[in-house]
């Protein structure tokens, strides 16, 4: 395997700064489109052709097709690169966490770790391979989507369709803080329990009412008890809302649950238990929601991909660990349709989803070189 020379750190850092200074919260179509224009131009620069899949009130999911240096086969399944350019950060976050590089080599700013560094890394790997001019094993399709941070509702079908047609998927979400890749991710379910009671004046008609708050509180111990530490299942009662005023018997109460699971049948167990919950009459319970992202399984093919990445890293002079993530990503979708998936190939840093988000600048060229090595020689057949 020939590893092309590593790209210039300074160039990559400047490019990351440019992406970070384009704030791009999910749902802000004007800002997302402005960043999409920048990204398309950058990827066209490395020889990719762009298709924009535009969705009302969401923005555009970018499909970037890269045929590889001359001589790269065109009649084989491509490698799918998966990323997103929306962030969880509202406009103005840049004032609290401005773009800057400190003396410890950390690049700060909203979206540095999740996942604008990943976008820079992926593009520079392709640039590196183009510069080397040596054919690679497979062409590449990159999907850069605009709604990952709200569950990829409008991009899911696109991601799954491309995953089915691809040899394997590489996801450029952040690595763990120590740089480990993610070979397994928990699945996520979102459920809401709504109790309908009956409102009444708390002073004059108290006994005519039916208190939804009390009825909901009654079932919560059972809900919390659905967690199973040994099997890695958690049921978090994250939000409670109920009633309107102290002097009114509460007519309605809601509990919003976040359920995480590693084993697929655990989501079925929790779903079945939730639908069997009962509240005392005349209160009525309504259960809504379901699985948002299936679990990303650590399959033998995924382990094989990881081992290959690890061998490439060793040649480049560093070690690469693997880890299980509690958070979900679009890698959960690619894995669930049976495509070998390796996640966490983005920048190494910490603080994602907070105002203290950063990546180490040294991880940018290192990870780009890793991807270039992985794409240059790996056939995965």
| Contact residues for Zn ion, defined by CB under 5 A | 114-115, 173
Q: Which residue is nearest to Zn ion (CB)?
A: 114
CB of 329 to Zn ion, least distance (A): 6
Q: Which is nearer to Zn ion, 115 or 370 (CB)?
A: 115
Place of tokens 């992202």: 293
Q: Where does 46-172 have alpha helices with state H?
A: 93-96, 117-132, 156-164
Q: Which is nearer to Zn ion, 4 or 344 (CB)?
A: 344
The rounded distance, in Å, linking the Cα atoms of 202 and 196 is: 17
Smallest CA-to-CA distance from 343 within 185, 166, 236 is with 185
Q: Which is nearer to Zn ion, 152 or 297 (CB)?
A: 152
Query: Residue 91: left (phi > 0), alpha (psi -120 to 50), or beta?
Result: beta
CB of 114 to Zn ion, least distance (A): 4
Q: Which is nearer to Zn ion, 172 or 378 (CB)?
A: 172
CB of 55 to Zn ion, least distance (A): 18
CB of 327 to Zn ion, least distance (A): 8
CB of 155 to Zn ion, least distance (A): 13
Question: What SS3 state is found at 213?
Answer: helix
Q: Which is nearer to Zn ion, 173 or 343 (CB)?
A: 173
Rg of the chain on CA atoms, in Å = 23
Smallest CA-to-CA distance from 308 within 79, 82, 95 is with 79
Instruction: Go through 87-125 and write b for each residue having 16 or more CB atoms within 10 A of its CB, e for each that does not.
Output: bbbeeebbeebebebeeeebbbbbbbbbbbbbbbbbbbb
CB of 115 to Zn ion, least distance (A): 4
CB of 332 to Zn ion, least distance (A): 12
Q: Which is nearer to Zn ion, 172 or 261 (CB)?
A: 172
The rounded distance, in Å, linking the Cα atoms of 48 and 296 is: 29
Q: Which is nearer to Zn ion, 156 or 196 (CB)?
A: 156
CB of 173 to Zn ion, least distance (A): 5
Q: Which is nearer to Zn ion, 4 or 347 (CB)?
A: 347
Q: Which is nearer to Zn ion, 278 or 356 (CB)?
A: 356
DSSP string, 226-293: T-BTTTTBEEEEEEEEE-S-TTB---EEEEEEEEEESSHHHHHHHHHHHHT----TT-EEEEEEEEEE
Smallest CA-to-CA distance from 293 within 343, 357, 255, 253 is with 343
The rounded distance, in Å, linking the Cα atoms of 210 and 127 is: 66
CB of 331 to Zn ion, least distance (A): 10
Structure-block tokens of residue 312: 């490439």
Structure-block tokens of residue 125: 């790997």
Residues 3, 368: contact at Cβ < 8 Å? no
């Amino acid at each position: 395997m020939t590893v092309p020379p590593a790209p210039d750190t300074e160039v990559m850092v400047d490019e990351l700064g440019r992406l970070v200074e384009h704030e791009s919260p999910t749902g802000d179509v004007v800002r997302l489109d402005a960043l999409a224009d920048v990204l398309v131009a950058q990827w066209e620069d490395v020889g990719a052709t762009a298709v924009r899949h535009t969705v009302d009130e969401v923005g555009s999911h970018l499909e970037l097709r890269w045929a590889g240096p001359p001589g790269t086969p065109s009649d084989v399944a491509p490698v799918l690169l998966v990323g997103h350019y929306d962030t969880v950060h509202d406009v103005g976050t840049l004032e609290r966490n401005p773009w800057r590089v400190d003396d410890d080599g950390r690049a700060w700013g909203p979206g540095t770790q999740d996942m604008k560094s990943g976008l820079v890394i992926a593009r520079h790997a392709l640039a590196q391979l183009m510069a080397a001019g040596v054919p690679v094993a497979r062409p590449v399709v990159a999907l850069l989507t605009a709604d990952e941070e709200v569950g990829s509702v409008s991009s899911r079908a696109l991601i799954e369709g491309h995953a089915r047609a691809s040899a394997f998927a590489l996801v450029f979400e952040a690595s763990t803080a120590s740089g480990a890749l993610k070979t397994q991710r928990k699945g996520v379910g979102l459920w809401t329990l709504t109790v309908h009671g009956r409102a009444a004046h708390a002073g004059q008609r108290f006994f005519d009412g039916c208190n939804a708050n009390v009825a909901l509180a009654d079932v919560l111990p059972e809900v919390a008890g659905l967690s199973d530490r040994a099997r890695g299942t958690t049921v978090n009662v994250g939000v409670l809302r109920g009633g309107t005023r102290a002097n009114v018997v509460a007519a309605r109460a809601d509990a919003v649950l976040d359920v995480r699971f590693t084993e697929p049948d655990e989501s079925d167990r929790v779903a079945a238990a939730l639908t069997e919950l009962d509240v005392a009459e005349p209160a009525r319970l309504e259960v809504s929601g379901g699985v948002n992202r299936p679990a990303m399984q650590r399959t033998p093919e995924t382990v094989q991909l990881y081992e290959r990445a690890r061998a490439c890293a060793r040649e480049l002079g560093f070690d690469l660990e693997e880890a299980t993530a509690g958070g979900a990503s679009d890698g959960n979708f690619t894995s669930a349709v049976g495509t070998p998936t390796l996640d966490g190939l983005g920048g190494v840093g910490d603080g994602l989803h907070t105002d203290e988000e950063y990546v180490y600048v040294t991880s940018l060229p290192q990870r780009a070189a890793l991807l270039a090595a992985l794409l240059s020689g790996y056939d995965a057949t």
